[in-house]
Amino acid sequence: MTSLYDLVRRLEVFENECDLVEILRDIGATLEFDFCAHGIKAPLPIAASKISMVNNYPQSWVTRYTEQKYVTVDPTVSQALQARGPVLWSRELFHRSPEFWNEAKDHGLNHGWALASWHASGAIGMTTFSRTSALISPTELRAKIADLTWAATAIHQILAEKLVPSMIPRQPLTRREGDVLCWTADGKSTEEISIILGISARTVNFHITNAIKKLNCVNKAQATVKAIVLNLIPVI
């Protein structure tokens, strides 16, 4: 039988979405869950971040969840992000959204466990293990908490590395472009940056313009924020 570790490491070499779904299903099955789901929220754009979700849920539920934009009302998402620790599905968790809870159960999602994770890129993710029958008992949780936590965290780290770059296309900045954005972030004017770096104001603006284009931004303020979020600004 393939170990949990080996299954998770298969995520590093999946070839397509179908392959990814199959791997997540196998990870869930190893932990005795029917379903495994993972969602990634890209760090940018800040006001309307892109969200990528992959799971082996029934297609009817995936379609319903997407069409109704349930991610905005799903209490497992908001609770996991606030708790910064595991969230166990319960009646209390869904008490403010009983219709959503009943719909989920109608699709076979009755018992679940979720954990939010953070990646160095700024991407936030949540991994959920759920099943149709068998309540998740305290005894089971104590026995599986280490494996569940490790698997959820590893899934996010691996998928963030593979998926986030395609969610936020970018070109690398030169050292000088990073320098001028770094000083811009500190509130320095073009003239002040030119003195600090020993270059002309025209050259400073040249580097800022290039950075704006590379980061697909409309002005230096947006470019500076994006560079910070993506860890592109160097430490001076």
Q: Rounded to whole angstroms, what are the CA distances from 91 to 66, 85, 97, 119, 124?
A: 23, 18, 10, 30, 26
Please compute the mean of the pLDDT values over residues 105-131 and round it to a whole number: 94
What pLDDT score does 80 carry? Answer: 86
What pLDDT score does 172 carry? Answer: 86
For helices 190-197 and 201-214, the axis angle rounded to 10 degrees is: 110
Of the candidates 51, 57, 72, which has an alpha carbon nearest to the alpha carbon of residue 163? 51
Name beta bridge partners: 116. 126
- All structural domains of the chain with their residue ranges: 4-167, 175-229
User: How far is 89 from 82, CA to CA, in rounded Å?
Assistant: 15
The amino acid present at 176, given as its one-letter code, is R
What region does 57 belong to: left with phi over 0, alpha with psi -120 to 50, or beta?
A: beta
| Residue corresponding to tokens 């991407």 | 123
User: How far is 56 from 19, CA to CA, in rounded Å?
Assistant: 11
Q: Rounded to whole angstroms, what are the CA distances from 158 to 108, 118, 154?
A: 28, 11, 6
Query: Is residue 125 helix, strand or coil?
Result: strand
- Taking only the tens place, the pLDDT of each residue in 72-85 is 899 999 888 887 78
> Under CATH, which architecture does the 175-229 domain have?
Orthogonal Bundle (1.10)
pTM assigned to the model = 0.81
> Under CATH, which architecture does the 4-167 domain have?
2-Layer Sandwich (3.30)
